[in-house]
Structure 1
Amino acid sequence: MLNPDVLTKYKTAAAIGEKVLAAVSQLCVAGEKIVTICQKGDRLIEEEVSKVYRTTKLKGFSHPTTVSPSSYVTPYTPLATDAAETNIELQPGELVKIQLGAQIDGFGSIVCDTIIVPSKDGAEDVVTGRTADLMLANYYANELLLRLMLPPGLLAGGTDEEKAKAAAVKPPTQSKITSLLDKVVKSYECNLVESTTSWLFDRNEIEGTKKIVLAPAEGTKGEGVPQIGEVWGVEMGVTLGSGKVKTLDQRATLHRRTTNTYILKSQTARKTLSTIQAKFGHFPFSLRQLEEEGGDTKYKVGVFDGVRSNVLRQYELVGDKDGQPVARSLTTLAITKNGITKLGAPPALDLSKYQTDKKITDEEVLKILEQPLAKNKGKSKNKKKKTAKKGTEENENEDDE
């Protein structure tokens, strides 16, 4: 089980992530440069982290601010010194993915949301067409996946015998999870992004010993099932394309310290690695942050040596193979005895703003979507009636543990 102190650190980090995500979303307007948004987001994370746990030295980023253009699948964080990258501006109506996060004492939360870039005149009141299909497919697929993270029988009611029977049900296999999610996205004529992966989180670790891989590419597979007491980063990726991805012809700017140890030969490389370890630990960082930290280009030698020696991992940029728009979300959650607690999550989609003639018809999927994420704790009967009447899931699940 998660001890209360650890859970509080996760929640504190997650609250910072959600606050900065909201601020960065407001910065994403047509004509704004991506690099400028990322820089402002990073400064906000540093400011917010400095206000909490003042005596804790190990705190900061669990993920730098990244803003990924429409067809990008992976997080994108351009360099301030690259003329081509610094000039990339957001386009009106473009779908961009914002991903970022904070950590306290090594307990990190990461959050990702997809937004539609408003024109300079402001956002449209109603979204229609294929953009609406994509956003709704991603939203409902994510809602379904969150419910499939629940250990069987965790929220079961009735007699002890009925609870025991519910708990004895085997959790869905990873192929079953992909199959159910496929039904959701196909309802909107969309596809899952291949090898979208959710990871078990741990202290100083965002890619733990368990993972759930959706629509796995050849040679990849998930392992393990979610259990009470665990924290997970749950990711959803949906595309208007075929679901296949390709490596983009752009340099990797997102890196992370691995657990491998190797004595780097050059003093410059050792100094760079020392800077990375002190500021970012084993969490992802942007080369732009090293530029701003060191103010020179010597760090490039250190990063090159670190990647070559496998003490640093570089995250290649990946995009939709067909160049089609991609929607993504990432939620950090805790699985407790009372169900799922969303620690850091993208804001709930305002479904009234998305119109399509497509809908989910599969009975098995609809039945799962109706299930709560957590036990309802001490809320008034009026509130429960109101929630049931609305028929929405989100209101039931806020802040439940």
Structure 2
Amino acid sequence: LLKKIAVGSKIFELCLWSDGQIYEELSKVYNKKPTFKGLAFPTTLSVNEVCGYNAPLLEDSTAIKEGDLVKIELGAHIDGFAAFVAHTVVIQSDKNAPVTGKKADVILAAYKAAQAALRLLKPGHFNNEVTEVIQKVCDSYQVAPLEGVLSHELKKHLIDGNKVIINKETFEQRVDAQEFAIHDVFALDVFVSSGEGKPKESDLRCTVYKRALDRSYNLKIKQSRQFFNEVLDRYPSFCFGLNSFEDPITARIGIKECLEHELLVPFPILVEKPGNFVAQFKFTVMITKGKTTALTGLPIDEALFKTENTIKDQQILDLLAVFYV
């Protein structure tokens, strides 16, 4: 997908292609016996100040422009065990041209905050330590952690477990201190903004949803029942996009009645103020005895990012100096 994203590529087509590739790769593994597998989160491409969850529909012709900062997020599962990943890139015709200014600051801050956080995910450390480290790295680059973002513990068929790490603690948004333990698996999600870090809901159409596990209702409209049965069959506990359904008309009718009766949880598209940039890095992390492993995630070439800001906090520098596989 990273190789396909270029100036002029349509976001709708990129998302659709990526979802197809995930299904194709899944079809090659665990085939000796019937195994439930598929998308755990549809491919979303969110540009510049758009924070996430952007999976446009066919009629949306929005394309990537020169210099766009693009956040890519996706997830897959095998037998109900999910893995998620997110990565941020700046699209430039000259691949070797340096990324500068606030784009460089938010990407370096998000990446280094995530790298420092990875080194804290082990027994003896607590979730609030990770939150503090994210804030310190952001301060170094004069940017802000995004409010309202939680990194959840993952279990079979559960993507929003009770153990959480909050990206930014505020007076209204805080979580209880919890120690990391062997066998914990987390979707570590770090979001950083060049703005205030207080996103607002946008006018962009919400297309990503998840079934509300604690709700039930007998739908009245035939198309709604047809749509919801497909959700139960393919996405009983995972996120899906409207692009995943072959019959878009049935899906749109179904979504309406399902939302009216709170059978689905919407993932609205949040945005910072225009002119700001938001970067995201997400890793699926597993804590085992004596080792913490990032199961997903890609490195960045830090040499391509030029900024006058740098990390001076010795605690963070010591953390980042720890060898990590």
- On whether the aligned pair clears a TM of 0.5, the verdict is yes
1:263 is aligned to 2:235: no
1: distance between equivalents of 2:290 and 2:50?
A: 36
2:2 partner SS: helix
Match of 1:155 in 2: none
Structure 2 residue aligned with 1:60, among 15, 29, 38?
A: 38
Deviation at 1:353, TM superposition (A): 1.7
- CA apart distance, 1:218: 5.1
What is the TM-score when the length of structure 1 is the normalising length?
Answer: 0.76
Counterpart of 2:269, as a letter, is L
Which amino acid is the alignment partner of residue 79 of structure 2? D
Q: Does 2:124 align with 1:146? A: no
Mark the CA change 1:265 to 1:139 in structure 2 (over 3 Å): closer, same or farther. closer
Q: Is the 8 A contact 2:85 2:281 kept in 1?
A: yes
2:95 aligns to what? 123
Distance in 1, matches of 2:133 and 2:296, equals 24
Whichever residue aligns with residue 11 of structure 2, its letter is I
Aligned in 2, Cα 1:260/1:172: closer, same or farther, shift over 3 Å?
closer
Question: Superposed, which structure 2 residues align to 1:2-401 within 5 Å?
Answer: 24-54=1-31, 55-80=33-58, 82=59, 86-119=60-93, 122-152=94-124, 171-172=125-126, 174=128, 176-217=129-170, 219-223=172-176, 224-266=178-220, 267-290=222-245, 293=246, 295-321=247-273, 323-345=275-297, 347-373=298-324, 397=325
Counterpart CA distance in 2 for 1:296 and 1:213 is: 36
C-alpha distance in structure 1 between counterparts of 2:283 and 2:187, whole Å: 6
**CA displacement, residues 161-200 of structure 1 (integer Å, 9 cap, x when unaligned):** xxxxxxxxxx3462x4333322211111111111221100
Shift of 1:280: 2.0
Q: Once the 2 structures are TM-superposed, how far is the Cα of residue 221 of structure 1 from its aligned partner? A: 2.5
Distance (Å, rounded) in 2 between the aligned partners of 1:222 and 1:78: 33
Whether contact under 8 Å (1:210, 1:222) holds in the other structure is no
Q: Which amino acid aligns with 1:73?
A: C
On the 8 A contact 2:113/2:134 being kept in 1, the answer is yes
Gap change, CA 1:323 and 1:225, over 3 Å in 2? farther
Q: Distance in 2 between matches of 1:95 and 1:75?
A: 15
Deviation track 1:305-332 (CA, whole Å, cap 9, x = no partner) reads: 2222222111111011454111001100
Partners in 2 of 1:64 and 1:220 — Cα distance?
27
**CA distance 1:358–1:261, change in 2 (3 Å):** closer
Do the aligned residues in 2 keep the contact of 1:200 with 1:207 (CA within 8 Å)? yes
Measure, in 2, the Cα distance between the counterparts of 1:323 and 1:110.
28
How many Å separate the matches in 2 of 1:52 and 1:173?
Answer: 34
Name the SS for the 1:369 alignment partner. Answer: helix
Deviation string 1:256-305 (CA, Å, 9 cap, x unpaired) is 11212413232322221110121222111111212xx2x25122222122
Distance (whole Å) between structure 2 residues aligned to residue 124 and residue 349 of structure 1: 13
Deviation at 1:219, TM superposition (A): 3.3
TM-score scaled by length of structure 2: 0.93
Equivalent position SS for 1:340: strand
Q: How many residues align?
A: 322
- Give the secondary-structure state (helix, strand or coil) at the position aligned to 1:270: helix
Tell me the amino acid that sits aligned with residue 287 of structure 2: I
Larger Rg: 1
Residue 384 of structure 1 corresponds to which residue in structure 2? none
Is contact 1:255-1:284 (8 Å) kept? yes
1:11 aligned residue:
none
Work out whether residues 42 and 74 of structure 2, in 8 Å CA contact, stay in contact via their aligned partners in 1: yes
Partner deviation per Cα, 1:132-187 (whole Å, 9 max, x = no partner)? 222211111111111222222xxxxxxxxxxxxxxxxxx3462x433332221111
Q: Tell me if the contact between 2:126 and 2:180 (Cα under 8 Å) persists in the aligned partners.
A: no
| CA offset digits 1:55-80 (Å, max 9, x no partner) | 33410111111111111112210011
The 1-side partners of 2:44 and 2:248 are apart by 22
Tell me what 1:393 maps to: none
Higher relative contact order (CA 8 A, sep 6+): 2
Q: Separation in 2 of the partners of 1:27 and 1:38?
A: 11
Task: Determine if contact 1:242/1:322 at 8 Å carries over to the other structure.
Answer: no
> Identity rate of aligned residues, in percent?
29
Answer 1 or 2: which has greater helix percent: 1
CA distance in 2, matches of 1:172, 1:87: 44
* CA displacement, residues 2-41 of structure 1 (integer Å, 9 cap, x when unaligned): xxxxxxxxxxxxxxxxxxxxxx111110111000101110
State the Cα distance separating 1:124 from its structure 2 match: 3.1
